[in-house]
Structure 1
Amino acid sequence: MPWPLILRLDECAYSLSVVQRTAYAVARDYEIKVQVQDQQITLLVTPCANSINTIPPSSEAVQERVLQALNDFALRERIQQETAGLRELLIRAALTGCSS
């Protein structure tokens, strides 16, 4: 497989924070260089020299793993945004209960 694997992402679909978390999550096996330009994020994925994988995976397997991590972190971010008000309300109620 020719390296690096290049993935182009729309910044509307994946925030930079999600991309950075994904890069960290797969850092044991892959190095990901992140480039941001206009509304597009480009990932350059290469295997780590010290990876425990002795047989390099196919480009499809690498792309699947990265996309799975991207979608996972994007969903987590969306859930966090949508439940922020509820979390604040629960924290406020808990703190109010502690002071009485």
Structure 2
Amino acid sequence: MWSAITRFKASLTYAVILGILKLGERRCNRGKPSIPEIDAVLDLVGFGILGGLLFLSSVESYLLLLWMLNFAVLLYKRKNDMNIVLKAKMVK
């Protein structure tokens, strides 16, 4: 959807953001395998960064509304993953 609406600009930006986040996560974990819940949180963080970039670039208001709706769906979809990560952080 984002590829069609933004002519791949948002999709490419999101892919680069996720790549940078994943590289940072791998360096922090020192090469250990990642757990899916961390990947889900990185997905949310990356999409949040994309939203910030969309806001700063003064895109049309319908794109910001679409981003907000898409982010709400992602939050709902990833709520269990976020709970697992937050509980693990609280235990440490």
The answer to whether TM tops 0.5 is no
Instruction: Tell me the TM-score normalized by structure 1.
Output: 0.35
The structure richer in helix per residue is 2
Bigger Rg, structure 1 or 2: 1
